[in-house]
Structure 1
Amino acid sequence: MTEHGGEVRNEVSGHVGGPVVQAGQIGSVVFHTPSGPPVEIPRQLPPPPRGFVNRAVELAALDDLLNADLLNTDGGAGVPLTVVVSGLGGVGKSAISRRWAHGVSDRFTDGQLYADLEGYRHGGGVEVGDVLGGFLRSLGVREEWIPAGLAERAALFRSRTAGRRLLVLVDDAHHAAEVVPLLPPSATSAVVVTSQRRLGGLVVDGARSIPLTPLTLDESLHLLSNLVGADRIAAEPAAGAELARLCAGLPIALRVAGARLIQRPSRLVSKLVAELADGRRRLERLSAEGDLSVEAVFETAYRGLPSVPARLYRLLGLLPLTTFSAGLAQAVLGREAEPYLETLLEAHLVEEPLPDRFRLHDLVRLHAARCAEREEPVADQEAALRAAASWYLGAVSAADRAIMGDRVRLAPEPPAPAEPFGSSGEALDWLEAERGNLLALLRLAASAGWHEFVWQCAEALWALYHQRKHYADWLETSRLGAESARELGYHAAEARMRNQLARAYIELADFPTAGRELDAAAGAAEAAGEPLLRAIVLESFGQAELAQNRPEAAAERFTRALEIHEAIGRRRGIGMQSYHLGLAHTRAGHAEEAVAAFQRAMSIMEERDDELSQGKIAIERAVALRHLGRGADAAASARQGLAVMRERRVAAKQIKALRILADLAADDGDREQERRCLEQALSVALASGNQAEADLLRERLT
């Protein structure tokens, strides 16, 4: 503020790099630096079951355990209350666990986490690392800070959950080892695990056990009365008791039987009992209470269906899917499916755990598959499976395009799905939700010899694996794709698949295996005679060299890839290889060459209006400019990149840009500016869940 001839002026001049406040008098000023979006408390519990009755003893036991073990603790780190709810399939383990969890959820102020382990199984085992990855994302850890290895993910999960009040519900565990990494180290947390097994390993280590047995006769009659009306059961007490006995105390069987009676209000209970008494259609391996089976219950419900929903039921039983959508059901049936899904829902043969996500209970799916094998011609069975595969291929390809944009693809573009994705985030979320189904379909297709589908779907799934780092899926899918491409003699596709496989091994630091796959990819690319594929494989070789801190070797690979892109006139490829070459030059200490490479890359990305790539290039260019002593230019480049990464919320790049600006301030002796940049970087690191980076920044600040 200056005074000129009695006139007071409020002026700002010179270069300003941060907030400015102009006022006549100021008492105090507080600047708030940006921190990332607020982290929401996870609320992952599935909806509570409808029409839940009985299980008062077990619910009370869960309450007693909670009151004794959780509320009497002083909190902090320790061992969470862990309860194993075990019992026969269909006995109601998930229902009681969800009912109880919703009743006590308000006691767990840091949220609730949920995982159905069936969707994470690989060859009988669970990819616990994928479960932990989902939990960490829900707890606010940014994707780029989630490590690849199981041990590292488990360690980060323990750090994020120590001392918190969390409720963790884990469905369908087969072994104690699947659960142990999911236990938060907090005496104020609770973990409920459902399993068809006793999980003795957890019990030995202190977990409490609540075995869930089939319902008693009185409990079964209570459930039936609640479903169809007490008067109707009381009118035929002997038939009602026999119906409860034939349903073997399984809630799912009782509900299906009740639905059958509801559909025909005038039907006698004794007539349904007579139908269920026929033991010729029992599921021999899935019995309860001696020789009693639930197959008759499912068969009776099935026989009461009209022809179209009955056929939909049969075809759904053939699909190796944990859940499915109405769109998939329509593709399999070949006509509008939602009205027939409603019929199956009413008969309790299909469940809808989430909006437009349907599923068959394990026992129901087995029965539906038997019906299909018995009544559907073999050709129609295969046609249904191929229809499902085709539907998924179209949806996965559309998701890939929504996420990755204009990248190199070998597969022809299939028909777009009926409902296109509204954003890249929506597409990525859909791929995440369908991940287990897609892997199951790929396995089935590979065993059936549907090689075109396998490699094309595997190519499109790069969008998911590159973003979310599901390494077990990534490796298996790419391997299946490579084998299918080889079976077809399609060298180009084999090169692409082996290159994708190698990129996973590079990220996992398994460089010998990555090298073998890249050698195979290079051979297939040569056999295909495709220069672009050779360039893609060369880029991956360069990535492997750079990951092993061999920048000169990396630069040689990137240069060869660049020459190919130049020869075929592919501008984006020229820009990307120039960027990679700049990284290698910087790592090797050749700052002038790095700046030149970055400048070329920047010009191309500006020409293509690729803002995200411009931001990445600007940050790396700042590093090289600093090495050349061009501090002002380096600061301008770092700020350019920082602005882009803040808008895109790319935490890792924000931190790098702020570190560069802090280093530049330190070079100039500006300790206050250095501290401000480091504090902003710390704020971003904490908000994104990068604890390791936060610790390093705190150390520097002290």
Structure 2
Amino acid sequence: MDERKGGAAATTHNSVSGNAVITGPLVMAGRVETLSMAPAPPGVTPRQIPPATASFVNRTKEIDRLRSIADALRDSHVPGIIVLSGLPGVGKTELVSQWVARALEPSYPGGHLYADLEEGRRDGAVDVSGVLAGFLRSLGVHPEFVPASLGERTALFRSVTSGRHTLVVVDNARQAAEVRPLVPATGLLVATSRTSLPALAMDGAVSIGLEPLDDRAGVELVRGWQVTDMDNAARTLVRRCSGLPLALRAVGEWLAKHPQLSLADAVRVMDTTGLPASQDGTASMKTVLDMAYADLSDPARQLYRILGWLPCTSVTAGLVAAAGVPAVDDAVGELITAHLLVVVRSCDRPHRFRLHDVVRTHTRQMASGLPEAERRAVLRGVVEFYAAAAAHADILVLGTGRFRLQAPPTRALEELCPSEQMFTDSAEALEWLDAERGNLLNLLRAAADERWDDMVWQLCESLWALYHSRKHHLESIEAHGLGVEAARRNGRADAEVRMRNQRARAYYELASYGEAGRELALARTLLGSVSDARLSGMIHETQGLVALASGNHGDAYALFGQALEANSSLDDTHGVVVQSYNIGQALVAAGRLQDALDVLDEARVTAVDSGDVAMLPRIDIVRARALQGLNRLVPASEAAMRAVEQANERKQYAKLDQALSILSELATGISDARLRAACEAKLRELHRGVGVPSEDD
């Protein structure tokens, strides 16, 4: 039983004979040459750096230094690294945004990539592999061609950025190891950090320290507020704020809401706290944030406190509503106006916001007094929201035909988020899942701690659509580990089998076959406790895949046979086709080529008759390999040609890549130079379309 979705019916060739030659080799070249490849998506060069703001002063020296260092590094034709360090709230990200807006628009034609590592940080660690996957997709790499492992993603990132000057900006880096894989092959990486990351000096990094604003620059910033009582009050205010632009802007917003008050009044309010300014600016920021918090409406204060302890990396209107905050739009708007929430630039829906890291510390302090019962009630509502939304997304991405243990969600998407649409189709649903990865995993952990076991394993079941499609295998392993424990506590042997199988698939994709085998062995001990044959079919199939990848062809053949028997007992035609295809793969690997053809020919007939056309390219690719091994090169070429046409028609680009590569090999065997040249040309066209370099690039 394949965890993936089957295909929909479509027209295809009805001739399925493994021996028939439909066109002959000379005509096949013309078929390849006239193949209308799916056009690549519009080429949009990423420009992801947060936009510069109007309220910016001084920093001329730092911008000039950034410009001169970047120019020198670009002329050296080697990738450069700059570390911009300074206190929280000192304006590191804003400085980079101003530099990009003023000096870099014509430069770095490869694009401007941006990541805030704090958004993906969990338990102190960053999923750098996930950041790279996002960068690759932004640079035009099709998701099917994003590799699984960190090493492979790093290598592809360097290949894609080779020869195309690319700027990468990474906020809130803590360690050199978080930065190194994100350095482009050609271009520049700028990392902001609270420290200078001295380990990066070994990589040639140049360090720039950003100091707080001095009195003159701070007063210039305050002058932009168009207040009347400048002079000593402005200088005093700058010093009370320790020269931190974030603190000064927050005071400016506070004054804008109280036009009857002066700068001197703001200073007096700050002085009433009795907090001295500490060396790192912490006390100053707390004073300013206390003022801002006291001036919020009750719904905005409620939201501010909730954000202090909810384990979420970003905020949406749906999340706020699920937390029980009234007047959602007004509450969010207040926090944005007060510079307490930052808008996350993203082309996906819905709109997202995040807390500045300095503000997050303050929200935790404000949330410390919340009653435990209130905390649990809010957390429960938010987890239920995400569990239902993820279930909707899973159905859109993988279809209603996928076998699921959980019941369909009872609340419609419109009910979950009345104020805006979260997603409307399969592509948007997958993007939503990916954008919410940090929230989903953190809330899954929180739900596991609370022993809300039914929601934990159900959420894991829904997350297969994300983890498998986007190859977030390490996260899948952690999440499904929580799912296994939840299902066990829940007394759901069937759910535990499902969780272990999905976890084993992640290990399998990472080539950790020993770990996959251990998960499957534990799942297999539970099969006597479950009645649904689909679960045993899943376990046998995954065991077969692990055996096949490990070179145990006989074991793979037997296991796929057991999976086929389970699917046959359920009259699951798609499952029968999938397992027959798997058996064919095992037979080809074992050298039993004619036996493989017999199985695959029958599987192809069944797929055509049942409309399971998504399996046809897979089947014909393996048929081509079997025929090639039997030295029947012309029918092998025809099988590969069919696979090319079918994969292209259905936009199965990874299979199209395989089929064209096999057909190119076969063209050499049948001495058809025109066919080989046509295949190589289409491969180059395909690789350009999916954003990966060809071998001859």
* SS, match of residue 408 in structure 2: coil
Partner of 1:218: 216
Counterparts in 2 of 1:278-289, with a 5 A limit? 278-279=272-273, 287-288=278-279
Rate the CA distance shift 1:618–1:153 in 2: closer, same or farther, 3 A. Answer: same
Unaligned runs of 5+ in 1: 1-12, 21-29
Partner of 2:52: 49
Q: CA deviation at 1:525?
A: 3.1
Comparing 479-488 and 141-150, the one that deviates more: 141-150
Confirm or deny: 8 A CA contact 1:403 1:424 kept in the other structure: yes
Rate the CA distance shift 1:246–1:641 in 2: closer, same or farther, 3 A. Answer: same
Rate the CA distance shift 1:367–1:593 in 2: closer, same or farther, 3 A. Answer: same
Rate the CA distance shift 1:336–1:412 in 2: closer, same or farther, 3 A. Answer: farther
* SS, match of residue 210 in structure 1: strand
Partner of 2:622: 620
Rate the CA distance shift 1:257–1:677 in 2: closer, same or farther, 3 A. Answer: same
Rate the CA distance shift 1:56–1:554 in 2: closer, same or farther, 3 A. Answer: same
CA distance in structure 2 between the partners assigned to 1:534 and 1:327 by the alignment: 38
Q: How many residue pairs were aligned?
A: 659
CA distance in structure 2 between the partners assigned to 1:253 and 1:648 by the alignment: 54
1:493 matched to 2:495: yes
Write out per-residue CA displacement over residues 33-52 of structure 1, whole angstroms, 9 at most, x where no aligned residue: 84862683541423313233
CA distance in structure 2 between the partners assigned to 1:136 and 1:660 by the alignment: 26
Write out per-residue CA displacement over residues 385-419 of structure 1, whole angstroms, 9 at most, x where no aligned residue: 22221111122112211111221211222233223
Q: CA deviation at 1:58?
A: 1.4
* SS, match of residue 638 in structure 1: helix
Task: State the identity %.
Answer: 37
Comparing 90-99 and 262-271, the one that deviates more: 262-271
* SS, match of residue 626 in structure 2: helix
1:371 matched to 2:373: no
Write out per-residue CA displacement over residues 100-127 of structure 1, whole angstroms, 9 at most, x where no aligned residue: 1233132112222222222333432223
Confirm or deny: 8 A CA contact 2:494 2:535 kept in the other structure: yes
Confirm or deny: 8 A CA contact 2:28 2:641 kept in the other structure: no
Write out per-residue CA displacement over residues 351-379 of structure 1, whole angstroms, 9 at most, x where no aligned residue: 213261111112222322332332x4322
Counterparts in 2 of 1:272-671, with a 5 A limit? 272-279=266-273, 287-288=278-279, 292-333=283-324, 335-354=326-345, 356-374=351-369, 376-405=370-399, 406-414=401-409, 415-418=411-414, 419=421, 421-627=423-629, 633-671=635-673
Rate the CA distance shift 1:333–1:239 in 2: closer, same or farther, 3 A. Answer: farther
CA distance in structure 2 between the partners assigned to 1:90 and 1:201 by the alignment: 24
Partner of 1:24: none
Q: CA deviation at 1:587?
A: 2.1
Partner of 2:260: 266
Confirm or deny: 8 A CA contact 1:451 1:488 kept in the other structure: yes
CA distance in structure 1 between the partners assigned to 2:304 and 2:323 by the alignment: 11
Rg: which structure is higher? 1
Confirm or deny: 8 A CA contact 1:114 1:170 kept in the other structure: yes
CA distance in structure 1 between the partners assigned to 2:362 and 2:219 by the alignment: 25
Partner of 2:84: 85
Rate the CA distance shift 1:451–1:641 in 2: closer, same or farther, 3 A. Answer: same
Comparing 354-363 and 499-508, the one that deviates more: 354-363
CA distance in structure 2 between the partners assigned to 1:649 and 1:31 by the alignment: 17
Partner of 1:99: 98
Rate the CA distance shift 1:134–1:306 in 2: closer, same or farther, 3 A. Answer: closer
Write out per-residue CA displacement over residues 326-374 of structure 1, whole angstroms, 9 at most, x where no aligned residue: 1211221354511221122222222213261111112222322332332
CA distance in structure 2 between the partners assigned to 1:594 and 1:372 by the alignment: 64
Q: Residue type matched to 1:364 in 2? A: V
Partner of 2:226: 229
* SS, match of residue 168 in structure 2: strand
Confirm or deny: 8 A CA contact 1:398 1:421 kept in the other structure: no
Write out per-residue CA displacement over residues 164-189 of structure 1, whole angstroms, 9 at most, x where no aligned residue: 31111111110112112222343xx2
Greater relative contact order (CA < 8 Å, ≥ 6 in sequence) = 2
Write out per-residue CA displacement over residues 430-459 of structure 1, whole angstroms, 9 at most, x where no aligned residue: 222111221222222222322222221112
Q: CA deviation at 1:470?
A: 1.7
Comparing 557-566 and 308-317, the one that deviates more: 308-317
Comparing 471-480 and 111-120, the one that deviates more: 111-120
Q: Residue type matched to 1:242 in 2? A: T
Partner of 2:163: 163
Confirm or deny: 8 A CA contact 1:35 1:680 kept in the other structure: no
CA distance in structure 2 between the partners assigned to 1:52 and 1:240 by the alignment: 16
Unaligned runs of 5+ in 2: 1-21, 415-420
Counterparts in 2 of 1:197-216, with a 5 A limit? 197-216=195-214
Q: CA deviation at 1:690?
A: 5.2
CA distance in structure 2 between the partners assigned to 1:487 and 1:287 by the alignment: 49
Confirm or deny: 8 A CA contact 2:114 2:169 kept in the other structure: yes
Pairwise CA RMSD: 2.8
Counterparts in 2 of 1:40-189, with a 5 A limit? 40=43, 42-54=45-57, 55-70=59-74, 72-73=75-76, 75=77, 78=78, 80-103=79-102, 104-186=104-186, 189=187
Normalising by structure 2, report the TM-score.
0.87
Normalising by structure 1, report the TM-score.
0.87
Confirm or deny: 8 A CA contact 2:574 2:612 kept in the other structure: no
